[in-house]
Structure 1
C-alpha cells in the first residue's frame, strides 16, 4: 500500500506551509504530511520553505533575522493558489497543537554546523514536548544536518533527501543511518526502489502530481508519494 504525504500541506490547493494548507490536506483524509523548517532569530521552528521571506510573503530579509512573534504576523499567501483569508507563517508548535497527522516529514535545509545543531536540538525538544517522537522523520539533503541528528538526537528517525544521481543515494543513506529515502521521482527506478527497500529504507517519492505517475509509482511498490495535490492522490490511489 502506497501512503500519501501532502507536500507543504496541500501546496497545489492552498498557500504552502500554512495552517490552512495542512488543514486542507487533512480535509481530504490524508493523514501524512511533509513540511520545511527554518529557525527564527529567537530559536523557534518556523514552517517555511525558503530562508528568505520574499517568495511567499513579499517581504525583504531572511527568516533568521526576525523573531517568531513577528514572523507569525506575515501573510504567506503570495504566489500560491488564490485564498481569501490571510495565512501567517506558522510555528511548528502550532501545527503540532492543531493538526492530527499520523506522520510528519520535517525537512531541514542546508545549514552550518552550528545552525544544524541548533535546529536538531529544537526539533528534539518539541517532539518530546508533544510526545511525537515516533511520528516524525527529520529529512535533509545536508550532511551537516544528518550528522547533527546522529550526534545529538540519535533517537529520532532520519531520512536523506536525494534530488540528483551524482552520488549513490543508498550509500549516503546507509552511511548516515537513515530510515527513509525521500527520492526525486526522476530517480525512482524499480531497481533502485527494490534495492532501497532491501536495505530497510522507506522510499518516499516526490513531487508526484500527475495521476498516471501516482499509479505507476504505486505499481512499482513505492512506500509513499509526496504530492502538491493530496485530494487528487486520495481519489487516484484511494485513501492511504
Structure 2
C-alpha cells in the first residue's frame, strides 16, 4: 500500500509548517509528515521552509539572524490557506512533543559546512531526547548536508531529495548511503522506480496533489507520496 506523508503538515489545508497544519494532518489519520528546518541564531531548530521570513510571515529578515524566543511569536499564516487564529512558527522540539507521527521526513536545505554540521548534530540531539531516532529520516538535496550526516551522525537515516535529472539520483543516493529517495513526481518513471526499489530505496514522490496522479503513482508502486492535501490522499488511496 502506498503510504501518505503530509507536506509541510497539510500545506493545502492549513498554514504550512505550523502546529495547526501538522494537527490537521493527524486528524486525517495520516501519521507521517514532511517538514523543513532552519537553525535560529541561538541554535534552535525552527520549522520553516524559506531561509527568510517574508513569504510565510510578511516580516523581513533571515531565520538564521533571529533568536528562537522571537521567532516562536511570529505568525506564519501569511500567503497560505486562511486560518482564524495566529499560527506561530514552531520549533521541532514542540512538534516532537505534541505530534505523535510514526515517521518524519526532516528536510534540511543547502548550508555551509559549519552550518550543516551544527544542524545535523542538533537534530540528532533532539531526536535522542525524544526517543525518535528510529522514526526520522533527514533528507536534503545538499551534498554538504548529506556529507555531514554521513560523517557526524551516521546512525540517522538519510534521504536524497531529487528535483532534476541532471545527475543520476540513484547513483547519488547510493553514494551517500541513503534509505529514502524523495523524488519529484515528474522524474518518477516506472523504470526509475523499479531500479530504485531494487537498490533498496524507499521512493517517496512529491508534491502529489491531484487524485488522478495519486492513483497513477500508486499503480506504479511508489512507496509513498508527499501531498499538500492529506485528506484528499486518504479519500483517494484508502477508499
Calculate the TM-score normalised by the size of structure 1. Answer: 0.99
Structure 1 partner of 2:42: 42
After the TM superposition, list the runs of 4 or more consecutive aligned residues in structure 1 that deviate by more than 6 angstroms.
none
Structure 2 partner of 1:199: 199
Counterparts of 1:12-161 in structure 2, within 5 Å, are 12-161=12-161
Cα distance in 1 for partners of 2:139, 2:224 equals: 14
Figure out how many residues of one structure are paired with residues of the other and give that number. 239
* Deviation of 1:214 (Å): 0.2
Q: Is there any run of 5+ residues in structure 1 with no aligned partner, and where?
A: none
1:198-217 alpha-carbon deviations (Å, 9 max, x no partner): 00000000000000000000
* Deviation of 1:227 (Å): 0.1
Cα distance in 2 for partners of 1:45, 1:150 equals: 20
Cα distance in 2 for partners of 1:123, 1:222 equals: 27
Cα distance in 2 for partners of 1:158, 1:134 equals: 12
* Deviation of 1:25 (Å): 0.3
Cα distance in 2 for partners of 1:67, 1:166 equals: 37
Is 2:226 the partner of 1:226? Answer: yes
Counterparts of 1:159-198 in structure 2, within 5 Å, are 159-198=159-198
Cα distance in 2 for partners of 1:60, 1:82 equals: 21
Cα distance in 2 for partners of 1:151, 1:181 equals: 19
Calculate the TM-score normalised by the size of structure 2. Answer: 0.99
Cα distance in 2 for partners of 1:133, 1:82 equals: 34
**Alignment partner of 2:124: what SS?**
helix
* Deviation of 1:32 (Å): 0.3
1:202-237 alpha-carbon deviations (Å, 9 max, x no partner): 000000000000000000000000000000000000
* Cα RMSD, aligned residues only: 0.6
